[in-house]
Structure 1
Amino acid sequence: MSASATREPADVIAAGRAALGIELGSTRIKACLVDADNPARVLATGSHEWENQLVDGLWTYSLEAVHEGLAAAYSALLAETRTRFGVAPTALAGVGVSAMMHGYLAFDADGALLTPFRTWRNTNTGPAAAELSALFGTNIPLRWSIAHLHQAVTNAEAHVPHIAHVTTLAGYVHEQLTGERMLGVGDASGMFPVSRDSAGRPQYDPELMARYDALLAERYPAARAALPGLGEVLPSIRVAGETAGHLIEAGARLLDPAGTLAAGAPAAPPEGDAGTGMVATNAVAPRTGNVSVGTSIFAMVVLDRPLASQHAELDLVTTPAGDPVAMVHCNNGTSELNAWVGTYRRFAELAGTPIDADAAYALLFAEALEGAADADGVLAYNQLSGEPVAHLDAGRPAVVRTPDSRLTLANVMRAQVYGVFATLAIGMRALHSENVAIDALYAHGGMFRTPGVAQRFLAAALDAPVGVAASAAEGGAWGIAVLAAFTAQRAADAHTDANAATLDLGAYLGAYLDSAVFAGADTHLTAPLADDVAGFSAYLDRYEPGLAIERTAAEVI
């Protein structure tokens, strides 16, 4: 840590030594400002709520909402810096953007959007994903960009002949801020499978790209004739620590229409929320992993060896440094739990004792600890949308129970929390079948602001130690701010280090996190309790056959 890391926040901001991270999540766009010389220190945050829309049967967000949300989140951050420190940033040490992974944004040669943004939440790509998984010999999930592209090809959609390039939401925002069309390797690995070239640098797998081009030539010749090769359609790849362009004037005005913020800050490679979650939990080393809990829920485990078999439940992606990761992604996370908590808050308000959200979660989670270890026959299904891990094409949230169960608040709340983790636990069985070693998992997301409860139940669900750092609730916006600070450091080193261009930047990420970010961090590790493990296992034994209720409900309701 440099001597400047001890400066007052106002001095850090005024000197242009703050790094900005922005993450576009499913329900909030969040901005996070950190001290670039001490990224563990959060200076200010700002956020803007938004919601996806169902348009013509597909989940989307408009680009207008993206632009408005970026400015609103940054404006909220500025209001906080002015209120707390009496100063607003005029220059930044670094900037980075992250967003929900995968999905599909297709543009023509003039940069016009050809079809509304298709998010990770859409499950219409089943035929394409199945065909590509067989062609490539590796699992291609429904939400991956290549699955969306190929589904559009197989459907002969009118926009396909006009495609010049496709990207993710993070890639789109990064291009708006910097003018550069590129992705961090973690996000890129959710577009198309990646491998390494002879120099060890991550790349889209050339053999699989050739197979795809051959498939188009054989079965979809019109698309093959109209489309550029995949190498031209997909964004270029960058690794954590590399400079991925600089904030341009138009990008600065997008964030700050008032004109206070200057252009010029080096930009980190844009990443997906999975990669920034790994950074936010210091889970980038082999045999570690993280669990991100929000609108969706997913686990990332860094592999120390290749998997022996292909598994439909596992996505093979990478860390922001390009190291191999097995990912279990579930479309449905805490949304249904949040709705139940909102219902209880409304009852409290009607009873004349209104309660804020954090206090409500604390009380209800504490009550969950009083429930039976197996929730005593109460089951909670949180599927608002389709869930590939559970083989559900559509979701219908439900609470069901056996006639002899005890319907108590404690059992209902334990079932609700278990329900958030149930499909993740089903997916993680594939890793267990491969005997993948996991020394610890680190969790993050707002669910963990209430200490002890969700962490304990997650440890039981996965039968592995779970850690939660004090920074866990900051999540991916802080993670991308840390990556922006890392990029700023590497950019500064390049001016003084003659060998900087030849360094393996990915090798530095873990050491940087250990020394500059998490040294002395307060991370509490919880081992699974035997009674909880047995109770969750019994819950899951009832939950899995009960998924038939979801399938029937989707047909009749």
Structure 2
Amino acid sequence: MTTFLGLDLGTSSLKAILIDENDALLAEHSVPLTVSRPHDGCSEQDPRAWETAAEAAIAAVAAKADCSGLAGIGLSGHMHGATLLGRDGAPLRPCMMWNDTRAGDQAARMDADPRFRAITGNIVFPGFTAPKVDWVRETEPEIFDKIDKVLLPKDYLRFWLTGEAVSEMSDAAGTSWLDTGARDWSDDLLAACRLSRGQMPRLAEGSEVTGTLRAELAQRWGLPQVPIAGGAGDNAAAAIGAGVVKDGQAFLSLGTSGVLFAANAGYRPDPASAVHAFCHAVPGTWHQMGVILAATDALEWLSRLTGRSAAELTSGLGDLHAPGRVLFLPYLGGERTPHNDANIRGQFLNLDHATDATEAARAVLEGVAHAFVDSRDALADTGTQITRALALGGGTRSSYWLDLLASALGVPLDVPQAGDFGAALGAARLGRMAATGAGAEIATPPPVACTHDPNPALADPLAQAQARYRAAYHKLKDL
């Protein structure tokens, strides 16, 4: 049996799945990861922990299923991480993660240089790779001077698996160094950051072969030496797993962060909107994203605060009804779309003696829904209209939240049948493309288990709540 392995390096875990040529799941295993937050706005992981997690996940999958027919491996991972390697190939410091916002000043200076938006098609966000590396240059010069390669997180795994320093277009587009329309590094932008092309990984498409599994690792796991695909950043990989490739297709992801993702047949940059315009994982395609930094992460924050699990907090919500007076702004670590504000922080409003944990949880879900509406409107301002979307991610286990989101956005949300249709499947599919020469036609949408339709009766109450939410944001911004 011919099989394909997908590795997805997430914020909180590394997941490995094994599929066959029909996308049937043969084995899976996840290994938890932890995030270090040494200071406000900081978010770091040790790249060596990714090696340990990948080792455990691959070995577990190999023990659960016959991998003798393995033909290809694909990679996905959280984007924007600054993984800095010295000449010996070892990490020089912990990776600064996607939600690390300490480089706000550096990002602002870069964004004030018109070349960055013109070439990359995006605002320079504090969480992107370039400003974080510039932060290292200014505050840790002894580290900056030793940089031999700057890799994105999943590409560090590739380096460990193959010995090759390679990235691909979808992930590279989130660095602020890529000419997104031309799908190539910009020497001008690298020079502006006192870096060179030689310190960057070679670029490939997500469906291309980028190296071969090292003999030592193949022997250790009892696997054949197979090709490893370019892969994709986590959201582009999720789109491949969900079959969101054609122009107009979309998905909503309720994970640690929140993403409203729309596939595009052409390149549609509009930096002023704070919408991400990135390369997709297959040649000749692009995508746009509205990004919320705290989605389920906001609910997990409330869980830690109250000592009650997310399931306990949401179990008493009952049927969806009009929003209450309590408002929550989910800006726990800043916000991307549409505000581009690393310094803004979250806020509860209109609390009173009757506010309990359940009401606070309701406000958190509503606050995230309002943030998604902001992203929808920002996408619409670029000319991208979303008429329905697949709903992915851990937050989709809450039917209440999906009903709320469908009603707030005014679009049906389709929930896939049980199975993994996220980034790990997308990575495995890209591994299949690289190994077999298959194209994007294998990235088919999953069967739908159910659809959450908008409730017309809630359209006006939710619109009024959205107006209060935006007014609260402007008041908070002025503080």
TM-score, with structure 1 as normaliser: 0.75
Q: Deviations over 1:283-322 (max 9, x none)?
A: 1111122222211112221235554743252121121014
- 8 Å contact from structure 1 (residues 444, 472) kept in 2: no
1:378 aligns with 2:326: yes
Superposed displacement of residue 440, structure 1: 2.7
Provide the residue aligned with 2:239 in structure 1. Answer: 278
Provide the residue aligned with 2:462 in structure 1. Answer: 536
Provide the residue aligned with 1:135 in structure 2. Answer: 115
Deviates more, 1:103-112 or 1:523-532: 523-532
Provide the residue aligned with 1:237 in structure 2. Answer: 203
Superposed displacement of residue 67, structure 1: 1.9
Give the letter for the 1:181 counterpart: A
Superposed displacement of residue 244, structure 1: 1.7
As a proportion of its length, which structure holds more helix? 1
Q: Secondary structure at the match of 1:335?
A: helix
Provide the residue aligned with 2:82 in structure 1. Answer: 104
Provide the residue aligned with 1:353 in structure 2. Answer: none
Aligned to 1:426, which of 361, 374, 387? 374
Provide the residue aligned with 1:124 in structure 2. Answer: 102
Superposed displacement of residue 529, structure 1: 2.5
- Shift in alpha-carbon separation, 1:20–1:304, aligned structure 2, 3 A: closer
Q: Secondary structure at the match of 1:158?
A: helix
Superposed displacement of residue 239, structure 1: 1.7
Paired with 1:193 and 1:316, the residues of 2 have a C-alpha distance of 11
Q: Deviations over 1:203-240 (max 9, x none)?
A: 23x4xx32552x46xxxxxx4xxx4x2x2222222223
Superposed displacement of residue 163, structure 1: 2.0
Q: Secondary structure at the match of 1:487?
A: helix
1:482 aligns with 2:462: no
Give the letter for the 1:513 counterpart: A
Paired with 2:47 and 2:136, the residues of 1 have a C-alpha distance of 20
- 8 Å contact from structure 2 (residues 242, 421) kept in 1: no
1:52 aligns with 2:52: no
Paired with 1:250 and 1:398, the residues of 2 have a C-alpha distance of 51
Superposed displacement of residue 365, structure 1: 5.0
Deviates more, 1:533-542 or 1:19-28: 533-542
1:336 aligns with 2:298: yes
Aligned to 1:42, which of 25, 45, 50? 25
Aligned to 2:91, which of 113, 116, 132? 113
Provide the residue aligned with 2:253 in structure 1. Answer: 292
- Shift in alpha-carbon separation, 1:437–1:420, aligned structure 2, 3 A: closer
Paired with 1:181 and 1:211, the residues of 2 have a C-alpha distance of 20
Give the letter for the 2:229 counterpart: A
Paired with 2:300 and 2:103, the residues of 1 have a C-alpha distance of 28
Q: Deviations over 1:456-512 (max 9, x none)?
A: 22223333332221256552122212222232322xxxxxxxxxxxxxx7xx31x22
TM-align CA RMSD:
3.1
Q: Secondary structure at the match of 2:366?
A: helix
- 8 Å contact from structure 1 (residues 99, 169) kept in 2: yes
Give the letter for the 2:149 counterpart: H
| Aligned 1:72-91 pairs, distance under 5 A | 72-78=56-62, 81=64, 87-90=65-68
- Shift in alpha-carbon separation, 1:101–1:414, aligned structure 2, 3 A: same
Q: Secondary structure at the match of 2:390?
A: strand
Provide the residue aligned with 1:193 in structure 2. Answer: 178
Give the letter for the 1:301 counterpart: A
| Aligned 1:61-80 pairs, distance under 5 A | 61-78=45-62
Provide the residue aligned with 1:470 in structure 2. Answer: 417
- 8 Å contact from structure 1 (residues 337, 382) kept in 2: no
Q: Mind listing any 5+ residue stretches in structure 1 that lack a counterpart?
A: 1-11, 82-86, 217-222, 254-258, 348-356, 491-504
- 8 Å contact from structure 1 (residues 246, 267) kept in 2: yes
Superposed displacement of residue 266, structure 1: 1.6
| Aligned 1:218-237 pairs, distance under 5 A | 223=194, 227=195, 229=196, 231-237=197-203
- 8 Å contact from structure 2 (residues 180, 278) kept in 1: no
Larger radius of gyration: 1
Paired with 2:303 and 2:214, the residues of 1 have a C-alpha distance of 43
Provide the residue aligned with 1:354 in structure 2. Answer: none
Give the letter for the 1:459 counterpart: A
Give the letter for the 1:545 counterpart: A
Paired with 2:305 and 2:144, the residues of 1 have a C-alpha distance of 45
Superposed displacement of residue 34, structure 1: 0.9
Superposed displacement of residue 176, structure 1: 0.7
Aligned to 2:271, which of 301, 310, 317? 310
Deviates more, 1:121-130 or 1:389-398: 389-398
- 8 Å contact from structure 1 (residues 174, 270) kept in 2: no
Give the letter for the 1:135 counterpart: R
Q: Deviations over 1:85-121 (max 9, x none)?
A: xx54345221122111112112223213223211111
Q: Secondary structure at the match of 1:89?
A: coil
Give me the identity figure in percent: 21
Q: Deviations over 1:342-362 (max 9, x none)?
A: 788x77xxxxxxxxx7xx74x
Paired with 2:73 and 2:12, the residues of 1 have a C-alpha distance of 22
Aligned to 1:203, which of 181, 184, 206? 184
- Shift in alpha-carbon separation, 1:282–1:474, aligned structure 2, 3 A: closer
Q: Deviations over 1:128-156 (max 9, x none)?
A: 32333333234222222222233334557
TM-score, with structure 2 as normaliser: 0.87
Q: Secondary structure at the match of 1:545?
A: helix
Provide the residue aligned with 2:11 in structure 1. Answer: 26
Give the letter for the 1:148 counterpart: K
- 8 Å contact from structure 1 (residues 46, 75) kept in 2: no
- Shift in alpha-carbon separation, 1:112–1:236, aligned structure 2, 3 A: same
- 8 Å contact from structure 1 (residues 449, 473) kept in 2: no
- 8 Å contact from structure 2 (residues 320, 404) kept in 1: no
Paired with 1:399 and 1:472, the residues of 2 have a C-alpha distance of 36
Q: Deviations over 1:167-207 (max 9, x none)?
A: 1000000111112211222112112333455xxxx323x4x
- Shift in alpha-carbon separation, 1:171–1:373, aligned structure 2, 3 A: same
- Shift in alpha-carbon separation, 1:154–1:532, aligned structure 2, 3 A: farther
- 8 Å contact from structure 1 (residues 371, 410) kept in 2: no
Q: Secondary structure at the match of 2:37?
A: strand
Q: Mind listing any 5+ residue stretches in structure 2 that lack a counterpart?
A: none
Paired with 1:397 and 1:411, the residues of 2 have a C-alpha distance of 17
Paired with 2:477 and 2:188, the residues of 1 have a C-alpha distance of 38
- 8 Å contact from structure 2 (residues 270, 277) kept in 1: no
Give the letter for the 2:44 counterpart: T
Superposed displacement of residue 538, structure 1: 2.4
- Shift in alpha-carbon separation, 1:305–1:531, aligned structure 2, 3 A: farther
